Amino acid sequence: MRAAVISADSVTVETVPDPTPGPREVVVSVAGCGICGTDLHIAEGEFAPTLPVVPGHEFAGEVVALGADVTELRVGDQVAVDPSLYCHECHYCRRGRGNLCERWGAIGVSTGGGAAEFAVAPVANCVRLPDSVTPADAALIEPLSCAVRGFDVLAPQLGDHFLIYGAGTMGLMMMELAKRAGAAGVEVVDLNPARLETARELGCTATATSADELDRPRGWEVVVDCTGVVAAIEDGLGRVAPGGTFQQFGVANEGATASFSPYRIYNKEIRVVGSMAVLHSFERAAELFAGGAIRPDVMISHRMGLEEYPAALEQFRQGVGRKIQVMPHK
């Protein structure tokens, strides 16, 4: 089969062996696979424990082969795949915090992923899709499940005012969930005018290229960084209202550091929280997706063939578009 391959010094598309399922695994013919910041980090030598690896942790498609002990699915079922691979044995797994697993792995990170014609997944990681859902669109369920986890951590109150940094896919998803969670207002900051236009199209309260342009002198009860950019993080920490919450949702470079006022965190009782990947949120995200919580026609800006994966990754790096998706059988 054909697959994208990230090596220590290159991103290529190659012919690799077809996958075969283990006893409790299935083979999925990939309909669509999204590209996200994690893929960039892998290409830059972070996250993936070993290289080369076939990337792609956001994917969905059709089951085409079953392991010997699989009874939950049938060939022909359309599924979205939770890429999370936990050991279920370590301290954090036993505490129900699999996303912090001491042996954490993920399809497309530590094992071959969905940027390929076919991918293997544990049957336990597959969620069957209703007929109303287009399988390629359902690759959005994985990032949506990360956003759902983010809201689990945030635990916002009805009537909170949100400020979101970044109007890429994740920022837009957090915006949509904030609206559903009863936000009194959701304002979005981004330097990219096209992305701000999309946020307005989806119904945010206001947009700006700097929070200085927005009128909330007391600050925002909830501030979420979806950029991972130090300048945005530092600015956002200063915008949190007394008693409010700052969430680090975007993935910063591993060695990045940010400056903030510990006194203000103490004196204004500001809560600072992180959110890492997926945790008990994939099935809920799949249901929200099927119910129309997000619009694939808006979220997905580019659909490209698998052979274009290196160019698609570079386009994502340049910040052009929103969700870029490769379609291996296009």
Examine the pLDDT at 231 and tell me if it is beyond 90. Answer: yes
User: How close are the terminal C-alpha atoms of the chain, in Å?
Assistant: 14
Q: What is the pLDDT of residue 276?
A: 95
The angle at the Cα of 157, spanning 153 to 198, to the nearest 5 degrees, equals 75
Q: What is the mean pLDDT of residues 298-323?
A: 96
Determine which of 8-12, 45-49, 87-91, 242-246 has the lowest per-residue pLDDT on average: 45-49
d(CA 186, CA 174) in angstroms, rounded, equals 10
Domains of the chain with CATH codes: 2-135+295-327 (3.90.180.10), 147-274 (3.40.50.720)
Q: At what angle do helices 141-154 and 169-180 cross, to 10 degrees?
A: 50
Q: What is the pLDDT of residue 52?
A: 96
Q: What is the pLDDT of residue 36?
A: 92
Task: Please provide the average confidence, as pLDDT, over all residues in the chain.
Answer: 97
Structure-derived torsion over alpha carbons of residues 224, 226, 230, 234, reported in degrees to the nearest 10: -10
Share of the chain above pLDDT 70, in %: 100
Q: 312-325 pLDDT, tens per residue?
A: 999 999 989 999 99
Instruction: Catalogue the E-assigned strands of 123-219.
Output: 126-128, 161-165, 185-189, 206-208
Q: What are phi and psi of 111, to 5 degrees?
A: -135, 165
d(CA 4, CA 258) in angstroms, rounded, equals 34
Examine the pLDDT at 246 and tell me if it is beyond 90. Answer: yes
Q: 26-85 pLDDT, tens per residue?
A: 999 999 999 998 999 999 888 889 999 999 999 999 999 999 999 999 999 999 999 999
Q: 158-207 pLDDT, tens per residue?
A: 999 999 999 999 999 999 999 999 999 999 999 999 999 999 999 999 99
Q: What is the pLDDT of residue 330?
A: 84
Q: What is the pLDDT of residue 254?
A: 85
Element (H, E) at 92: helix 91-94
Q: Per the omega criterion (within 30 degrees of 0), is the bond before 21 cis?
A: no
d(CA 224, CA 247) in angstroms, rounded, equals 5
Tokens for 145? 């499940």
Q: What is the pLDDT of residue 35?
A: 97
Element (H, E) at 11: strand 11-15
Residues in CB range of 286: below 8 A, 6 or more apart: 80, 127, 129, 138, 141, 145
Q: What is the mean pLDDT of residues 242-246?
A: 98
Q: What are phi and psi of 140, to 5 degrees?
A: -75, -15
3-state SS record for 249-264:
CCCCCCCCCCCCCHHH
Q: What is the pLDDT of residue 76?
A: 98
d(CA 50, CA 326) in angstroms, rounded, equals 23
Confidence band (pLDDT; 50, 70, 90) for 253?
confident
